[in-house]
Amino acid sequence: MATTRAHIVVSGRVQGVFYRYSAVEEATRLGLSGWVKNLRDGRVEAVAEGERDAVERFVEWCRRGPPSAHVEKLDVDWEAPTGEFRGFETRY
């Protein structure tokens, strides 16, 4: 299976609705590796690595977010996988 890596930055009213924790749950459910963290300016940043189909589904989830989130903008950079992560974690 092809693997890929996405670097994602989400802007909008996402931090106050536990977006970060919901993203970790979704990434774990999809079997991805990487991390997610809140940025000081209120955006959420994530790196997701795994099977291409699962990463694409995670990017689509980030576009929607949890039901109470309001995503204004989603920036995604597709990168070559590095294999440096073993699970999905929260960073601060």
Reported pTM: 0.91
Given CATH 3.30.70.100, say whether it is the number of domain 3-81: yes
The average confidence (pLDDT) of the chain is 91
Mean pLDDT of 83-88: 89
Tell me how far CA of residue 48 lies from CA of 31, 68, in angstroms: 10, 22
pLDDT at 92: 76
More confident residue, 37 or 16: 37
Count how many residues are written for the chain: 92
Indicate left, alpha or beta for 53 from its phi (over 0: left) and psi (-120 to 50: alpha).
alpha
Rounded to 5 degrees, what are φ and ψ at 86? -110, -15
Positions annotated as catalytic residues are 20, 38
Task: Tell how strand 88-91 and strand 33-38 pair up.
Answer: parallel
